Amino acid sequence: MSGTETGYNYAYLDEQTKRMLRRVILKAVAIPGYQVPFGNREMPMPHGWGTGGIQVTASIIGPDDVLKVIDQGADDTTNAVSIRSFFAKTAGVATTTRTEEATIVQTRHRIPEKPLKEGQILVYQVPIPEPLRWLEPRETETRKMHALSEYGIMHVRLYEDIATHGRIATSYDYPVQVNERYIMRPSPIPKFDNPKMDMNPALQLFGAGREKRIYAVPPYTKVKSLDFDDHPFEVQRWDESCALCGATDSFLDEIVTSDRGDRMFVCSDSDYCGDRQAARRKEAAE
Amino acid sequence: MNATDRPLLRVERLTKRYGERFACQDVSFDLWPGEVMGVVGESGSGKTTLLNCLSARLGPDGGRVLYNTRHQGMRDIYETSEAERRLLMRTDWGLVHQNPRDGLRLAVSAGANIGERLMAVGARHYGEIRQAATDWLGRVEIDEARIDDLPRAFSGGMQQRLQIARNLVTRPRIVFMDEPTGGLDVSVQARLLDLLRELVASLGLSVVVVTHDLAVVRLLAHRLMVMRQGRVVESGLTDQVLDDPQHAYTQLLVSSVLQA
Ligand SMILES: [Zn+2]
């Protein structure tokens, strides 16, 4: 299945590169949370656009797939639109904004609010994959620390957070332990989304383009956010509800609505919010 | 024979070569619980190489270093797995570098520096970790109010005391020290030595301390080894060796001809 009318190979990458990436993904699935290095293939987009996630998606996508791409929870940002049209063009796949219709969801910054199902794949774009890097610049040493489960310094970081702020202030890219073994960076999703990774029925794949790593959380795998006994892990909460759909259970973005500094809170997940608004309208009409 | 009938560390004919040159050759000694062994010599005498071999950081070319482990008796540390060695190094053993910056994490607070070894062995209660850090700051005579300060804001003497606290918090059985007072002002040295002596005695620590400074071993060490060109030329009780040196080289050292 090589070649489309566009002149590119199917899903842009050549078959050899895709086979290599699939082997890397299989290894990543076999060792949950472990970062598997791969040879990078240059993609026709700048790194900031999530080339790691795009390469993962390119290697697993097929003509029957339905692709959803979100950026900060929204389907209509420049980044999300261009990735979606890239795969529509090079892989001939159907695209959707609806979480429940998608077979593959490529994401930056969020996990959809609607629960994922078995058979779905969530592909994360990862800017920095190594959770130990903040205190240990040497790659040989971080590899050894992972191999020997020497993870004390992850709690040093949380200790510093509490010492400085009186609580664990880290709110994005909050470190987790996968399957009671490897410490993993979940990419810059809000810690609000961390509990969704735990025992999720979907396959979760993480691609880091710049550092050439892929890691994975297979379906129904334990994912635990690190914490202290006396400072347990907590997610963000809001006093407000969504100004558009009234949701009280979703991640809210604060939006400034006027020069006078008026603000409102709305769901960051535009698909979730849109469904709830439609349901409200229907209810009002009946 | 139970564990206390044996030395904590047994060094047998330890040899390390760099090419043709012997950095240390045929060094043997026992270190008993609560004992402080001083190793003196000029730079190039092999004392630092010896310390690195003893503390599992430099594999020897010959001989053995046996450590009396808590559960498995005497074990050759170079025949244990790297995982076991690294675990020993952050639990049972301590290592005090001459330059505290080599032994501290400069980018995290004093409290986190002390708490790290506790967290590395599974401490997960913030309040308890912080309390331990507070206690240890007090024990090494650092104002508790400095607990959230970065070590780079500390004086050299304070950094060295913080490095010591960071090592002692897990109650190690052996501490290896490399010129612990090197690079400090004389008045600061004296205070640090007093503190070290008090901590070693009250905790019943075993220590191997390497130094070129006879005043350090005079105050701290129960026994002494004098090294020259990789070999131990004289050893014995510290006061005996220093007050009545037998070897010509030791006599030179003591007469401070070599001390300048
Ligand atoms: Zn909403």
Contact state of A148 with B109 under an 8 Å Cβ cutoff: no
In 3D space, the residue among B249, B242, B247 whose CA is nearest the CA of residue B221 turns out to be B242
Give A240 Cα–ligand 1 centroid separation in angstroms: 11
**pLDDT, chain A, mean:** 93
Q: Which site among A135, A228, A231, A234 would you substitute to test the B interface, given the most B Cβ atoms closer than 10 Å to its Cβ?
A: A228
B130: which chain A residues are within 8 Å (Cβ-Cβ)?
159, 163
Tell me which of A7 and B79 has the higher pLDDT. Answer: B79
- Rounded to a whole number of angstroms, the distance from the CA of A278 to the nearest CA of chain B is 46
- For chain B, give the percent of residues with pLDDT over 70: 97
- With tokens 């020290």, the residue in question is B177
Using CA coordinates, name the residue in chain B closest to A152: B120
Q: Which of A135, A148, A163 sits opposite B105 (nearest CB)?
A: A135
Distance from the B193 Cα atom to the nearest Cα atom in chain A, whole angstroms: 30
CB-nearest to B116 from A156, A164, A230 is A156
**DSSP H or E run through B80:** none
Give A213-232 pLDDT, tens digit per residue. 999 999 999 999 999 999 99
Euclidean distance between CA atoms A41 and A50, whole angstroms: 13
Q: What is the pLDDT of residue B187?
A: 87
User: Percent of chain B having pLDDT more than 90?
Assistant: 89
A152, B126: Cβ pair inside 8 Å? no
Q: Is A135 on the interface with B (CB under 8 A)?
A: yes
> Looking at the predicted structure, is the pLDDT value of residue B46 above 70?
yes
Q: If you measure CA to CA, which chain B residue comes closest to A164?
A: B148
Nearest C-alpha of chain B: how many angstroms from A231? 7
Kindly tell me if the per-residue pLDDT of A16 is higher than 50. yes
Which of A135, A143, A157, A159 has the highest number of chain B CBs within 10 A, making it the mutation to test binding with B?
A159
**Most B CBs within 10 Å, among A136, A151, A155, A183, to test the B interface:** A155
pLDDT at A47: 67
pLDDT category at A147 given cuts 50, 70, 90 is very high
Helix, strand, or coil (residue B147) = coil
Asked whether residue A166 carries a pLDDT value surpassing 70, the answer given is: yes
- Domains of chain A, CATH where assigned: 15-225 (3.40.50.11310), 237-286 (no CATH)
Mean pLDDT, residues B112-138: 97
Q: Which residues pair with B224 in a beta bridge?
A: B38, B236
Active-site residue A53, yes or no? no
CB contact under 8 A, B124 and A229: yes
Instruction: Tell me the C-alpha distance between B168 and B92, whole Å.
Output: 10
**pLDDT (tens digit per residue) in A275-285:** 999 999 998 88
- Tell me the C-alpha distance between B63 and A54, whole Å: 55
Ligand 1 centre to CA of A244 (Å) is 5
Three-state SS string over chain A comes to CCCCCCCCECCECCHHHHHHHHHHHHHHHHCCCCCEECCCCCCCCCHHHCHHHHHHHHHHCCCCCEEEEEECCECCCHHHHHHHHHHHHHHCCEECCCHHHCCEEEEECCCCCCCCCCCCEEEEECCCCCCCCCCCCCHHHHHHHHHCCCCHHHHHHHHHHHHHHCCCCCCECCCEEECCCEEECCCCCEHHHHHHHCCCCCEEEEEECCCCEEEEECCCCCEEECCECCECCCCCCCCCCCCCCCCCCCCEEEEECCCCCCEEEEECCHHHHHHHHHHHHHHHHC
Residue predicted with more confidence, B44 or A142:
A142
CB contact under 8 A, B126 and A156: no
Helix axes B186-203, B156-168, angle to 10 degrees: 10
Cα A87 to middle of ligand 1, angstroms: 28
Confidence of residue A5 (pLDDT cuts 50, 70, 90): low
In this prediction, residue A126 has a pLDDT band, given cuts at 50, 70 and 90, of very high
Q: What is the pLDDT of residues B201-244, one digit of tens each?
A: 999 999 999 999 999 999 999 999 999 999 999 999 999 999 99
ipTM: 0.91
Ligand 1 centroid–CA A123 distance in Å is 24
* pLDDT score recorded for residue B4: 61
What per-residue confidence (pLDDT) applies to B257? 56
| Residue A282, CA distances (Å) to A241, A242, A266, A274, A285 in order | 20, 18, 20, 12, 5
Question: How would residue A40 be classed by pLDDT, with cut points 50, 70 and 90?
Answer: low
Alpha-carbon dihedral angle through residues A180, B171, A228, B150, given to the nearest 10 degrees: -120
Question: Which pLDDT does position A134 carry in this prediction?
Answer: 84
Q: What is the pLDDT of residue A6?
A: 54
- The helix (run of H) or strand (run of E) holding residue B191 is helix B186-203
H or E element, residue B219: helix B214-220
Q: Give A231's contacts in chain B (Cβ within 8 Å).
A: 126
Position B152: which residue type? R
Task: Looking at the complex, report in whole angstroms how far the Cα of residue A174 sits from the nearest Cα belonging to chain B.
Answer: 17
- Residue A261, classified by CB atoms within 10 Å of its CB into exposed (0-12), middle (13-18) or buried (19+), is exposed
Residue A103: phi and psi, rounded to 5, are -95, -30
Q: What is the pLDDT of residues A86-123, one digit of tens each?
A: 999 999 999 999 999 999 999 999 999 999 999 999 99
Whole-number pLDDT of residue A136? 87
Quick check: A162 and B126 CB within 8 A? yes
Ramachandran angles phi, psi of B213, nearest 5°: -100, 110
CA distances from A125 to A13, A88, B207 (A): 17, 19, 51
A159·B112 Cβ contact <8 A: yes
Work out the mean pLDDT of chain B and round it to a whole number. 93
A162 contacts B108? CB cut-off 8 A? no
pLDDT bucket at A135, cuts 50 / 70 / 90: confident
Residues of A in contact with B117 (CB under 8 A): 152
Q: How far from chain centre, in Å, is Cα B119?
A: 22
Inter-residue contact B241 to B207 (CB < 8 Å): no
Question: Is A152–B121 a contact, with Cβ atoms under 8 angstroms apart?
Answer: yes
pLDDT at B183: 84
Q: A72 CA to middle of ligand 1, Å? A: 14
Closest Cα of chain A to B123: distance in Å? 9
